[in-house]
A and B are shown apart, each in its own frame.
Chain A
Amino acid sequence: MTSTKPTVKAELAPSGSAPSVALHAGTSDPRTLIMRNLQQSGIYIAFVALVLLFAFLTDGVLLSPDNITNIVLQYSHILVLAIGMVILIVAGHIDLSVGSVVALTGAVSAVIVIQQDYPWWLGVLAAIAVGVATGAWHGFWVAYVGMPAFIVTLAGMLLFRGLTLQVLDNISLSPFPSQYNDIAIGFLNGLLGGQGYDAFTLLIAGIAVIGYAVSVFRTRLARIRYQQSVESFPLFVVRVLLVAAVVMYFAWQLAHSRGLPIVLIILAVLVIAYGLMTQNTVFGRQVYAIGGNLSAATLSGVKVRKVNFWIFVNMGLLAGIAGVIYSARTSGAQPGAGNMFELDAIAAAFIGGAAVAGGVGKVTGAIVGGLFMAVMSNGMQLEGIDQSTQSVVKGLVLLLAVAFDIYNKRRAGATR
């Protein structure tokens, strides 16, 4: 720290232009730059390494068109849950009931569509409505009664599992009509034809890439307008091209399998919407403020109860969507559906960099955390590793991910 200057500088006169150059100064030391980036992007690097490892071990089967499609179809419901879960974890809560809620919403949908013969979309709406209701139930107890989420949702886990059994009368219901199943296992293909590949998939991916490029370019322009530091233009172009290449490769592989999975579109919309919501809206930012320091947030005028209530409602909504996806994929409802889903979702959030104490975590992180586990399971299945070993490995990965987070924090703290 520098010594106090002889004259006290505390100008409060409003002056318009030029935020200082110091914004650039922070990025000069290459070591801190690498360390900071490693902390933030550790999971992304680990994910890429994992994909390469299993691609190598499986002789490329992991990245084959059919297998990529399978991974998307098999784990989408966990990813949907992880989005809601990471938001709760950032705010300092948890939800242990989502597995039971997935079962309950699927069961309600099955009763309406399979047993009562109502149209398939009514089942979807009912499932989502039931999900929202369970979220409101949890939100009420946590936000307005002031109970710890751990207890409330532990009770919810038992409660909604019991209701599932009652709704289903202890038996499984199947099958759903094919329109309903398509939500989870359907594909948009053949809309534009193509020679051995699906042109429509490539078109959508192309539009997505262009949309991405335009959006990051506009962000860059706005940053420059505000005189903030931006990466050099060649680096910027390389980054955009890299993202475009990965997306197009992924689309190319899908186009050579069965086309664009409907569930992937649902997932993409959710990830983009929630990513933007958490980072760029007042509501999202208040979630981080609550998790970072509850008292400070309260004394800054954040309506803590309201925010807490709505993030639980949101979790219920997403659990309802996951319930629809899962029941559609299994084409039915089982009393034991969704068992342990909550743990997969929680693990995805923590592997994706969420902090145990709250205040830190990202939707994109949770998605990558979920994909990390998905690729790990899938890769081990391809390798013929049995279920028990898979469970051991998953457990260790979760442990190490959180240990890495704690180690990083201690390191960061020790350099001060």
Chain B
Amino acid sequence: MDDDVLLEMRGITKRFPGVTALADVSLAVRRGEIHAICGENGAGKSTLMKVLSGVYPTGSYDGEIMFDGEPVHFGGIRDSESVGIVIIHQELALVPYLSIAENIFLGNERRGRGGFIDWNRTNRDAAALLASVGLDENPVAPVIQLGVGKQQLVEIAKALSKEVRLLILDEPTAALNDIDSAHLLDLLRRLRDQGITCIMISHKLNEITAIADSTTVIRDGRTVETLDMRSGDVSQERIIRGMVGRDLDSFYPDRVSEPGEEVLRIEDWTVWHPVQPRKVVDGASLNVRAGEVVGIAGLMGAGRTELAMSVFGRSYGRDISGRLFMHGRQVRARTVAEAIDNGIAYATEDRKRYGLNLIADVRANVSAAALGKLARGGWVNGNEEIKVAEESRRDLNIRTRTVMDQVGTLSGGNQQKVVLSKWLFTDPDVLILDEPTRGIDVGAKTEIYAIINKLVARGKAVIVISSELPELLGMCDRIYTLSAGRITGEVPVAQATQENLMALMTKEKELAG
């Protein structure tokens, strides 16, 4: 396949003290294609993109980059942008209180006479760019008013304003719901048809098979293979095989399901938004039994996290009403401490913001929610604490040199295991896992699934909240669907399909629309 190559990276090797992040990586991207890059976390995808965009300047790595037939040397992001390479990072880099138009032209302002900003031109150009990405918003509206999906579109509009030729998207749909994701993928197809080449890093293999023209698989800092996807016969399993170097014979490990006594039940649970006058959760009732995994499916904004956090010591919302039962007895859990005492644990969907103290070590994070168990008369037994952390490290296979390492230095999957360790150490009866596998690689996902199965086998009750329906179908015994704060269905897994779940998850909206 000797097509017209826009970008070629040859023999890229990047070393950090003690680690070789990239070893002789090559990448060839054809003009006008969508090129997916996949690999497990830590495989080197982001490092490769940082080399390409000039974050790591020429000289800090070995190998060469050819762009449009010319060798290029970038000293920084400005250099790569000047030839039309624009990268959109996973964490969006928009200024929340500035307007859409100001964000689009940030650092690239539309100036008039005397160097002052020409607001008319700024807003007019912004409106045109917004139209081209299909975003119907007023350019003077502050970005903070937009949802994540729309912010992503603003980022793309910003890239288009720089006359982009090669657009790099790092996990563009990680934070998006299915509808926004579909919208974004449509847009990428349209941009491709307009001649914009696109590199997309993604964990979502269904999206890759749906949209990519080529896929390059990276593993352990090396290029494994580049697959031509245009024929359409490359399966997700095929890609996974390249990523992990093996077949995932059983992606979702089997489990014998023998639910026992009811552990947690909520009845008529209603939660109001903390500031806006609306119900976020509306009359929800559900239960979970010992040895059972119950899923909660819902689109973004359906109130899944809000439901879970309001149950977990009222850590979200106001005017919460409803009844909470543990082991058939009504309990009050008005603070997080009371919820923990009652045997409830909640592992957040956003581990960096709500789950971990990133500047502290593994040990302190593992013990954080149950430090009292390690203390007598308020004095912590530091040796016992290290022992507990070591046991967690071994049992959950947390890959770190020592438990005194900062959690911020671990990969996403290992951070998630630290979060799980923290909650396991509280010895809960019911564990609520909110997006337990978000942003972590395939190998770590299977490990998390195995951990969940072990917990259930020990008689714990588990509630899994997930945006990935295959994950719920693979893990759960029963699935509740949530739409606009209401429970719209309860489906035993044997009868559940992605289609009927999706229908229930969108039920309310269709009625309203």
Contacts and interface: CB of A to CB of B under 8 A. Distances in A.
Interface string A277-320: 00011110110110011011111111100000000000000000
B358 A293 contact: yes
Contact of B386 (A6, A13, A19): A19
Contacts of A289: 357, 360, 364, 368
B371 A282 contact: yes
Interface stretch (A116-124, A139-147, A219-227): A219-227
Given A301-B336, A360-B359, A19 B387 contact: yes
A299 B315 contact: yes
B431 to A, nearest CB: 12
Nearest to B411: A1
B92 to A, nearest CB: 19
Contacts of B379: 280-282
Contacts of A2: 220, 399
A8 B446 contact: yes
Contacts of A29: 18
Interface in B42-93: 42-43
B145 interface: no
A288 B444 CA distance: 29
A23 interface: yes
Interface in A1-52: 1-4, 6, 8-15, 19-20, 22-23, 25-26, 29, 31-32
B348 interface: yes
A11 B458 CA distance: 12
A292 B402 contact: no
B279 interface: no
B438 interface: no
Contacts of A355: 359
A298 B392 CA distance: 22
A78 B458 CA distance: 55
Given A4-B244, A20-B390, A288-B360, A281 B375 contact: yes
B335 A303 contact: yes
A228 interface: yes
Nearest to A360: B359
Interface in B355-371: 355-360, 364, 368-369, 371
A195 interface: no
A20 B392 CA distance: 11
Contact of B220 (A3, A13, A19, A222): A3
Contacts of B443: 3-4
Contacts of B380: 280-282, 285
B17 A415 contact: yes
Interface stretch (B108-116, B207-215, B449-457): B449-457
B402 A25 contact: yes
B245 A3 contact: yes
Interface string B208-250: 0000000000011000000000000000000000001110000
28 contacts: A1-B43, A1-B220, A2-B399, A3-B220, A3-B443, A4-B244, A4-B444, A9-B397, A9-B447, A11-B394, A12-B396, A12-B451, A12-B455, A22-B393, A22-B402, A23-B386, A25-B402, A26-B404, A282-B379, A288-B357, A298-B315, A299-B312, A299-B346, A299-B355, A300-B422, A301-B337, A302-B368, A416-B16
Closest 10 CB pairs of A and B: A4-B443, A292-B357, A19-B390, A1-B42, A300-B369, A226-B383, A301-B337, A12-B454, A301-B336, A10-B450
